[in-house]
């Protein structure tokens, strides 16, 4: 199977909408799967909404999802999953994920949320200062990654 990284959704509003549509449905047991199929006379495209970070207990995936992967000639994802650009991605996260000078995460959170975050960080021996200047989205991504790892 070929694996191809596609264009960056943030630069293409239509892809953002498509991504949102793909991840909207839930796929818990008994619920509709986030799979859409597009057929033509010459090809079939299967779109799968996915969760990018999850606990290992989501595996094995439901049979319908595994079957779609097994039948695919090419897998297209929105990010480069090969790891070839990991240093560049880390650099971007640190340059774009940091708040402008003079701003802090506390300014973006309610007092209650800020207190809860501090409590959470301290309970895991993580210095609050390490997160104080990060964009809220990077804080969520970092904490989610640490929790799943």
CA distances in angstroms from 3 to 18, 59, 82, 89, 118, listed in the order given: 20, 21, 9, 19, 40
Same domain, yes or no: 106 and 131: yes
DSSP sequence for the chain = -EEEE---GGG-HHHHHHHHHHHSS--STTSPPSEEEEE-SS-EEEEE---SS--GGGPSPPHHHHHHHHH-SEEEESS-TTSTTHHHHHHHHHHHSBPPTT--GGGGS-HHHHHHHHHHHHHTT--HHHHTTB-HHHHHHHHHHHHH-
| Residue at which a domain ends, from 23, 44, 77 | 77
| Residue at which a domain ends, from 77, 100, 119 | 77
Domain that holds residue 136: 86-148
Output the tens digit of pLDDT for each of the chain's 149 residues: 544 444 444 444 454 444 444 444 444 445 667 778 888 888 888 888 776 666 777 788 888 888 888 888 888 877 666 777 778 877 887 788 999 999 999 999 999 999 999 999 999 999 999 999 999 988 988 888 887 65
Same domain, yes or no: 103 and 143: yes
Same domain, yes or no: 106 and 59: no
Q: What's the domain count of the chain?
A: 2
Same domain, yes or no: 56 and 104: no
- For the entire predicted model, the pTM comes to 0.54
Same domain, yes or no: 53 and 119: no
The whole-angstrom separation of Cα 116 and Cα 101 is 24
Quote the pLDDT of residue 71: 84
Same domain, yes or no: 73 and 53: yes
């Amino acid at each position: 199977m070929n694996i191809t990284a596609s264009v960056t959704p943030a630069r293409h509003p239509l892809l953002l909408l498509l991504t949102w549509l793909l991840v909207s449905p839930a796929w818990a047991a008994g619920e509709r799967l986030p799979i859409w199929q597009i057929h033509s006379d010459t090809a079939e495209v299967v779109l799968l909404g996915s969760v990018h970070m999850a606990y290992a207990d989501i595996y094995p995936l439901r049979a319908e999802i595994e079957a779609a992967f097994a039948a695919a000639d090419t897998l297209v994802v929105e990010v480069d999953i090969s790891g070839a650009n990991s240093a560049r991605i880390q650099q971007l996260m640190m340059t774009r994920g940091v708040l402008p000078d003079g701003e802090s995460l506390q300014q973006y959170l309610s007092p209650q949320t800020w207190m809860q975050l501090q409590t959470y960080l301290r309970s895991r021996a993580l210095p609050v200062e390490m997160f104080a200047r990060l964009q809220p989205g990077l804080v969520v991504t970092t904490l989610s990654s640490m929790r799943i790892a």
